[in-house]
Amino acid sequence: MSPQNPSDPNQSNPDPAPSDSDQSEQGSVFYRWAPTFMRRSTHMNTSAKLGLTEPYQHWYAPITSTNLRELFAEPEHPLTVEIGFGMGHTLIQMAQSEPTRNFVGIEVHEPGLGLTAFEADRLKLTNLRLIKGDALKLLENLPEGHLDTVQLYFPDPWQKKRHYKRRFVSPERMELVIYALKTGGIFHTATDWEHYAFWMIEVLDSLAPLQNVAGSGNFHPRPDFRPLTKFEKRGINSGHGVWDLIYRKL
């Protein structure tokens, strides 16, 4: 783990978290989760700016949505939610290559939201919608068994011990993911941080409703359907390994 690694948000941002409290203010409601994301300032290019404007708003759905399937012309298609899609390259590629699957991406980072909406519009993708905000809030509103797949690629690693509570993969947060997944549904995550990879496998293997598709204690071989992500590329360039984990809800 290189101290210079640019994919390390703990190092690239001197003010890593919106709050260190487990009860942080999120908009107008008092929210009970420690945020799993951090403040980031990324340059917003013209496309990203455009993608946040009024003519692109039909690509977005409210975080209070309780039925994501009805956002699509073909609601019967399998539904994937991607949490923290970053700049959206992976999500766009997956939506393009799987037109018979619907995708909802949720992200807090505005440049990524804008750029992804702009690209969805340019490519006229009918099977993709975006939501701005904290995925945990969305999951809390969804009915049981609503989703076929939840994907979480290269989540913020929160390397410092005092920040482990912010890691998305925790028993408490996974309870929400498990609830929202249908029986037989898939949770797929990947990381380039070795400590987080072993943390994840310990947490996920211990959750009774989840079955490790690769067998207990095993990471999954990198699946062909997962495109290389921006943060994955950075990690590889810094000499990191990559660990995929795929679980089925029993």
Ligand X SMILES: C[S@@+](CC[C@H](N)C(=O)[O-])C[C@H]1O[C@@H](n2cnc3c(N)ncnc32)[C@H](O)[C@@H]1O
Positions marked active-site: 156
Of the pair 211, 236, the CB lying nearest ligand X is at: 236
Q: Which is nearer to ligand X, 93 or 211 (CB)?
A: 93
154 binds ligand X (CB under 6 A): yes
The two counts, helices (H) then strands (E), for the chain are: 8, 9
Does residue 119 touch ligand X according to CB under 6 A? no
What are the angstrom distances between the C-alpha of 182 and each of 118, 173, 177, 179, 225? Answer: 31, 16, 10, 8, 21
Number of residues interacting with ligand X: please give it, by CB under 6 A: 23
56 sits in which H/E element: none
Of 47-55, 81-89, 116-124, 177-185, which segment contacts ligand X by CB under 6 A?
81-89
> Is residue 231 involved in binding ligand X (CB under 6 A)?
yes
Site string for ligand X, 173-192 (x = CB under 6 A): --------------------
Bridge partners (DSSP) listed for residue 155: none
For helices 194-205 and 171-180, what crossing angle results, to 10°?
A: 60
**Contact between 242 and ligand X per CB under 6 A:** no
Q: How far is the CB of 190 from ligand X (least distance, A)?
A: 8
Gap between the Cα atoms of 155 and 161, Å rounded: 16
HSE-CB for 197 with a 13 A CA cutoff? 16
Instruction: Tell me which residues touch ligand X (CB under 6 A).
Output: 36-37, 83-86, 106-109, 112, 134-136, 153-156, 168, 229-232
